Amino acid sequence: MTQVRVLVTGAGGFIGHHLTSYLVERGYWVRGVDLKQPEYAATNAHEFLQLDLRRWENTLRATEGIDEVYNLAANMGGIGFIESHKAEIMHDSALINLHMLEAARANGAARFLFSSSACVYPGYLQDSPDVTPLKEEDAYPADAEDGYGWEKLFMERQCRHYREDYGLQTRIVRFHNVYGELGTYDGGREKSPAAICRKVALAEPGGTIEIWGDGQQTRSYCYIADCVEGIHRLMRSDYVDPLNLGTDRLVTINELVDIVAKIAGKQLHRTHDLSKPQGVRGRNSDNTRLREVLKWEPATSLEKGLSRTYRWIEGELQKAGRLPQLVTAGRA
């Protein structure tokens, strides 16, 4: 049987790195492409190219000889970054995605997965912490998150047109707050679970950590191992419309802090900075269609996923000499 040749763009990033490992373990030949090498662990891609995919000639090189494309490359980050870099995000990600779609078509790839986001959903459906879970069709009438969300929604439609006009089999996944080991946890691009894990790890027992917003905003979170399995299942399916990939367990940010503090074994106080970006008031995934289409859904509990994530971030901070001695004393 001929080995399927796969391209993972964004393979130097969080989800792309995990997806590369997942696909290699399942017998695919994998080419990884990114501007940078993975930050925390070496890639096991069969081939890794450092390329700027905003440039057309580089997308042609990346897709040459490839059967299937998992397009995860994007300029993105946590809420602080996407709120303050809208022009940069839309410019870079639109160039990457438009070039990647066309290059995949030009080089004869059979399938193309586009990584979209729950940020495509309208703000008017997410103005309460007790949010109604978002169904795929709720994306219209459109009112996507400014900047990042609008680019994602536009590219979802372009994927549909490439499928209808050119026969490129596109798949569209809408991620809902993916977290886990090997993800960015500092520097401004980190998502809320990683930021909270870092803050808790750095805090002295009985100390205080700062939370952006009042802490009553709500989210659902998907662990990375479930995410990459869902991506692969969707790529192997015949489903062509956008599909949510997340969990449907809604928690407040304050509850998220409590879970992480319990994992760390610390009693902590919280302050809330209402001047910082906090995104929509509430966001949750409706997994009805995910269960119908894939006969599957994410199964890792938030407590288990956060425990693995916290211990990894704690270990990274310890290696960097950033943890208070009181916290690290006596630990193996």
What pLDDT is stored for residue 2 in this prediction? 86
Tell me what the pLDDT averaged over the chain comes to: 95
- Reported as a single tens digit per residue, the pLDDT across 147-194 is 999 999 999 999 999 999 999 999 999 999 999 999 999 988 898 999
Strands 218-219, 251-252: pairing is antiparallel
Helix (H, G, I), strand (E, B) or coil at 185: coil
What pLDDT is stored for residue 79 in this prediction? 79
What pLDDT is stored for residue 88 in this prediction? 95
- Average confidence (pLDDT) over 305-314: 98
Beta strands of 236-306 (E only): which ranges?
Answer: 243-245, 251-252, 269-273
Residue 29 above 70 pLDDT? yes
Domains of the chain, first to last: 5-179+223-245 (3.40.50.720), 192-219+249-284+300-325 (3.90.25.10)
Report which of 263, 305, 275 is spatially closest to residue 210, judged by C-alpha positions. Answer: 275
**Orientation angle between helical segments 148-166 and 86-106, nearest 10 degrees:** 10
Beta strands of 218-322 (E only): which ranges?
Answer: 218-219, 222-223, 243-245, 251-252, 269-273
- Reported as a single tens digit per residue, the pLDDT across 197-232 is 999 999 999 999 999 999 999 999 999 999 999 999
Percent of the chain with pLDDT over 70: 97
Which of 50-64, 125-139, 270-284, 286-300 is the least confident region? 270-284
What pLDDT is stored for residue 278 in this prediction? 82
Q: Is 148 known to be catalytic?
A: yes
**169/109 Cα distance (integer angstroms):** 9
Identify the band that residue 327 occupies on the pLDDT scale cut at 50, 70 and 90.
Answer: very low
Identify the band that residue 116 occupies on the pLDDT scale cut at 50, 70 and 90.
Answer: very high
Identify the band that residue 328 occupies on the pLDDT scale cut at 50, 70 and 90.
Answer: very low
Q: How far is CA 102 from the centre of its chain?
A: 23
- Average confidence (pLDDT) over 47-52: 98
- Average confidence (pLDDT) over 24-39: 96
- Phi/psi at 147 (5° precision): 85, -95
Report which of 119, 86, 76 is spatially closest to residue 279, judged by C-alpha positions. Answer: 119
Identify the band that residue 83 occupies on the pLDDT scale cut at 50, 70 and 90.
Answer: confident
- Average confidence (pLDDT) over 105-118: 98
Amino acid type, 131: V
Which of 16-25, 186-195, 226-235, 302-311 is the least confident region? 186-195
The answer to whether the beta carbons of residues 78 and 179 sit under 8 Å apart is: no
Residue 129 above 60 pLDDT? yes
Identify the band that residue 325 occupies on the pLDDT scale cut at 50, 70 and 90.
Answer: low
What pLDDT is stored for residue 78 in this prediction? 74
What pLDDT is stored for residue 217 in this prediction? 96
Out of 148, 179, 221, 223, the active site residue is 148
Report which of 134, 146, 111 is spatially closest to residue 239, judged by C-alpha positions. Answer: 111
- Average confidence (pLDDT) over 272-292: 94
Residue 330 above 80 pLDDT? no
